[in-house]
Amino acid sequence: MPVLHNRISNEELKARMLAETEKRTTVSFYKYFRIADPQAFRDNLYRQFEALKVFGRIYIAQEGINAQVSIPESNYDAFRDTLFAAAPELNGIRLNIAVEDDGKSFWVLRMKVRKQIVADGIEDPDFDPSRVGRYLKADEVNAMIGDPGTVFVDMRNHYEYEVGHFENAVEVPSDTFREQLPMALDMLKEDKDKNIVMYCTGGIRCEKASAYMLHNGFKNVFHVEGGIIEYARKAREQNLPLKFIGKNFVFDERLGERITEDIIAQCHQCGKPCDVHTNCKNDGCHLLFIQCPDCAQQYDGCCSEACTTEHHLPEEEQRALRAGRENGIKIFNKSKDHPLRKHRDAWKEERLAGNNPRPGDPQNK
């Protein structure tokens, strides 16, 4: 019986991936369908994908599958055939090919069984996630985006919306999808007679959100087919004007795909135009934030002077400082309520008001 999970260190696996000479293709896909035995389905698919040297992150639940993976180009056809044959519902599934791809998005295959592929917090037994809104193709998106009777709703998190979004799209200001759903209902309650167009990165969140809106009495509900990734690809293929402005955040090593050259976000430390996400280098923090090259040099890739200082301490002292900290303020913190972002937003408000304060480190204020 082969090992059904990885037992090699991340460092070695990443080094192996970087040493590869064959190009890889990064794709994402999802499908809501009934899986009777998620663990057996996972184990069977894991064996086949491991043999094809597929890397990436795949979640499997009774409600379906959600994946972001990279595949060696020579194995791409075999990967597609394997996926299509894994279940009748997956035959012909749409594969969203990355807009920008250096082939270095993943270095290990992680396939997990979860309660849901998208945690939604919905407890209504009558909710049917398969009763979804109407798909919109790229040309239809462009036709509707300027319609005063249409509202575009971004169903991604704050840090994703911040670096790029559709023109005039409404942000649902929340850190989690489960919080967004009831919030979206409340925000849009006066727009029930309008066209509601929901979108997200690859389609999985906005598809479920469209079903939730229909379940709660909205009539004219749409969602962007394949999300931002597929929209950008099709718009370019068809020479359509791009109505998504800025950068599309992605959940792999790249942390973003550039859609247009517009930079609509600011460095979280100094306020300069910037949309480059990074993780704080301090192992006791790893906050996800936006940092310009000047601040990256000043803070040595950290989010604050305090983290820079800690990052330069001997490892034994760093471990002692990390001991006892709550996990909630540590690894890959993306919350819009993090002090660094609160400081950034306050600085932006003052700047727009004409006060133009001198930006400084948020944790030293």
pLDDT computed for residue 65 by the predictor: 93
From 330, 337, 343, 335, select the one nearest 268 (Cα to Cα).
343
Q: Across residues 41-63, what is the average pLDDT?
A: 93
Give percent above pLDDT 70 in the chain.
81
Among 142-151, 208-217, 348-357, the range scoring the smallest mean pLDDT is: 348-357
Q: Across residues 160-183, what is the average pLDDT?
A: 90
Q: Across residues 229-250, what is the average pLDDT?
A: 93
Residue 339 clears pLDDT 70, i.e. is over it: no
Domain range annotation of the chain: 10-113, 134-246, 265-364
Give percent above pLDDT 90 in the chain.
52
pLDDT computed for residue 178 by the predictor: 86
Higher pLDDT residue, 19 or 353? 19
Q: Confirm whether 200 is a catalytic residue.
A: yes
CATH assignment of 10-113, given 1.20.950.20, 3.30.450.40, 3.10.450.50, 3.30.70.100? 3.30.70.100
User: Which one of the listed residues 200, 267, 270, 303 is annotated catalytic?
Assistant: 200
Q: Across residues 173-190, what is the average pLDDT?
A: 89
| Cβ contact 41:35 at 8 Å | yes
Geometric angle at alpha carbon 108, from 107 and 109, rounded to 5°: 140
Place of tokens 């803070």: 299
CATH assignment of 134-246, given 3.40.50.300, 3.30.465.10, 3.40.250.10, 3.30.70.260? 3.40.250.10
Q: State whether residue 158 is helix, strand or coil.
A: helix
Among 12-16, 23-27, 112-116, 206-210, the range scoring the smallest mean pLDDT is: 12-16
Among 152-156, 284-288, 292-296, 345-349, the range scoring the smallest mean pLDDT is: 345-349
Which residues partner with 244 through β-bridges?
A: 166
Higher pLDDT residue, 157 or 252? 157
Locate all alpha helices (DSSP H) within the chain, ordered by sequence. Answer: 10-19, 38-51, 76-86, 138-144, 158-163, 177-187, 204-215, 227-237, 293-298, 305-311, 315-322, 339-352
Q: State whether residue 31 is helix, strand or coil.
A: strand
Q: What is the mean pLDDT of the chain?
A: 83
Res. 325 pLDDT band, cuts 50 70 90: low
Same fold, 10-113 and 134-246: no
